[in-house]
Amino acid sequence: MNVTTQPENRIWNPACECMPRKELEALQLERLQRVVRTVWQRVPYYRAKMDAVGVMPGDIRTMQDIAKLPFTTKNDLRGCFPYNGFAVPMEEVVRVHASSGTTGQATVVGYTQADLDKWTELMARLHTAAGITARDIVQISFGYGFFTGGLGHHYGIEKIGATVLPVSAGKSERQVQIMCDYGSTVLIGTPSYAMYLSEIIEQMGVRDQIQLRLGLFGGEAWTEQMRRALQKRLGVFATDNYGLSEVMGPGVSCECVEQNGMHIAEDHFWAELIDPATGEPATDPEGKGGEMVITTLTKEAIPVLRYRTRDLCRFLPGECPCGRTGRRMSKVAARSDDMLIIRGVNVYPQQVEETLLTVEGVAPHYQIVVRREGVLDEMEVHVEATEGIRMGDHQAMKQKIARVLQNSLLVSVKVRLVEPNSLPRSEGKAVRVIDQRPPPP
């Protein structure tokens, strides 16, 4: 397995990715005004929303005027199921993606051929920024189908001339065997599944046959501690990327090899940070940050105005040494709708992960179980011990983990230490929280 080294800094499209800020800002305004006119004329749903707040296309004279436009939420998009949010006739739609619908009505996204061409371009930027070259053999372990991850990455990889292994998700032993047989040099998937594959590699005893050098991980929030663990266990240089199906899929922003925050593709997306409680602009976007809100500037089939992502992050100050001029965002710290309130204290799963990975002898797999005992909420964290931790040491380790978590989360936490490889593994996004509390009346 390769030793992690930083790839060479390369840029796919310098004219766009390194555009002078004044030129970029003029382009953004032109595109925003065009998309607002389009939804006003072609999407009755948006026209009704704009009428309700008393705004017309002519009111958008500067980028700051975007605050006059209404937000779009996931429930809004669900209400347009399947095609009522489209701005073009169906004969111009060449592909449809959709959410799983496991937590409610699916959200549907359509693409014209021009949309797919732009998406492919953005993915080529992402892959080049992460260090992929035409010499690489890229194994995709994201699912193919309605989920945007597999096909989104697929066409970007082909665009830059690298070799695609369209393995899709699941069949983990087969995933590892393909790495060995086909000489995969890049792995793309969720960080939790990549961590699981690292365990399968160890169990199969093929560590010396793995040629991976890069890992591109996304699809779920993950911490810097998880990055370090993945780089060590897989021997890869690991980068983050960000996107969501409601506005396109992956490719909204990406890390370059500087691992210095994710560059937002600002020629295609306008990003805002708001206070998730009030909807007002974030008062400290480079400090406390806020909830990411995205407006598509170039989508044809289904333009989206001010989509509330529920993802919490911050903007990063200064310039990146790579030369890209797009505004940078931090890793997503959490989702506002993932927040647990335990005895009046706000707790995010990523805080638990970040804390657990500082404790020696703990594997990077956990689950949070929330119950109601009487009138009080109780949180129990199920944690795997690593191989070699003796049963007699479990009680002392449980006490240590509980103490570290309480100091970090500022709330009392129960800990259950379980045997290695006993917690469920996911072939997609990890299920971190099991909320057993009764629903509110």
pLDDT the model gives residue 360:
85
In a domain, residue 386? The reply is: yes
Predicted pLDDT of residue 397: 85
Region of poorest pLDDT, from 71-75, 244-248, 289-293, 336-340: 336-340
Give dist(CA 285, CA 317) in Å, integer: 10
- What band does 246 get if pLDDT is binned at 50, 70 and 90? very high
Same domain assignment for residues 228 and 369? no
Is residue 440 included in any domain, yes or no? Answer: no
**Total domain count, the chain:** 2
pLDDT at 323: 97
- Structure confidence at residue 390 as a pLDDT band (50, 70, 90): low
Co-location of 266 and 249 in the same domain = yes
pLDDT at 391 over 60: no
Final residue in a domain of this structure, among 336, 365, 399: 336
- Indicate if the pLDDT at residue 419 is higher than 70: yes
What pLDDT, on the 0 to 100 scale, is given for residue 392? 60
Report the CATH number that the domain containing residue 5 is assigned in CATH. Answer: 3.40.50.12780
Comparing CA positions, the residue from 334, 105, 83, 101 lying closest to residue 221 is 334
pLDDT score of 388: 67
Q: What's the CA gap between 83 and 110, in Å, rounded?
A: 8
Q: Out of 89-98, 386-395, 417-426, which region has the weakest mean confidence (pLDDT)?
A: 386-395
Given pLDDT bands bounded at 50, 70 and 90, which one contains residue 3?
low
Range in 47-51, 104-108, 380-384 the model is least confident about: 104-108
Does residue 427 or residue 69 have the better pLDDT? 69
pLDDT over 90 (residue 227): yes
- Helix, strand, coil shares of the chain as percentages rounded to 5? 35, 25, 40
Determine the pLDDT at residue 229.
92
Q: What is the mean pLDDT of residues 338-347?
A: 77
Contact 215, 424 (CB under 8 A): no
For residues 150 and 233, state if they share a domain: yes
In this structure, are 171 and 229 located in the same domain?
Answer: yes
Instruction: Please indicate, yes or no, if residue 201 is contained in any of the structural domains.
Output: yes
Q: Give the model confidence (pLDDT) of 186-225 as tens digits.
A: 999 999 899 989 999 999 999 999 999 999 999 888 889 8
Same domain, 288 and 367: no
Residues 321 and 423 in one domain: no
**C-alpha distances out from residue 296 to 88, 105, 265, Å:** 15, 22, 10
Inside any domain, residue 253: yes
Q: Which of 172, 220, 228 is nearest to 197 (CA)?
A: 172
> Model-level pTM?
0.85
Q: Final residue of a domain: which of 336, 356, 387?
A: 336
Q: Are 331 and 271 in contact (CB under 8 A)?
A: no
- Assess whether 364 and 425 both reside in one domain: yes
Domain that holds residue 254: 1-336
Average pLDDT over residues 67-72: 97
Q: What's 383's domain CATH number? A: 3.30.300.30
Is the pLDDT score of 425 beyond 70? yes
Read off the pLDDT of residues 282-339 as tens digits, 9 standing for 90 and up.
999 999 999 999 999 999 999 999 999 999 999 999 999 999 999 999 999 877 777 7
Q: Which of 336, 358, 378 is the last residue of a domain?
A: 336
**pLDDT exceeds cutoff 60 at 79:** yes
Amino acid occupying residue 316: L
pLDDT for residue 1: 62
Per-residue pLDDT, 187: 98
285 and 347 housed in the same domain = no
Averaged over 227-236, what is the pLDDT? 95
DSSP state letters, 385-408: EPTT--GGGHHHHHHHHHHHHHHH
pLDDT > 90 in the chain, percent: 70
Q: What confidence score (pLDDT) does residue 103 get?
A: 60
pLDDT at 2: 65
Would you state the pLDDT for residue 421?
82
Q: Assess whether 355 and 279 both reside in one domain.
A: no
Of residues 342 and 100, the one with the higher pLDDT is: 342
> Is 80 exceeded by the pLDDT of residue 362?
yes
Residue predicted with more confidence, 390 or 28: 28
Cβ 377 vs Cβ 370: under 8 Å: yes
Do 284 and 356 fall within a single domain? no
Query: Is 441 within the bounds of a domain?
Result: no
Residue 397 belongs to a domain:
yes
Dist. CA 410–CA 416, nearest whole Å: 19
Do 381 and 288 share a domain, yes or no?
no
Average pLDDT, the chain: 92
Task: Tell whether 326 and 347 lie within a shared domain.
Answer: no
pLDDT, tens only, 126-137: 999 999 999 999
Has residue 249 been placed in a domain? Answer: yes
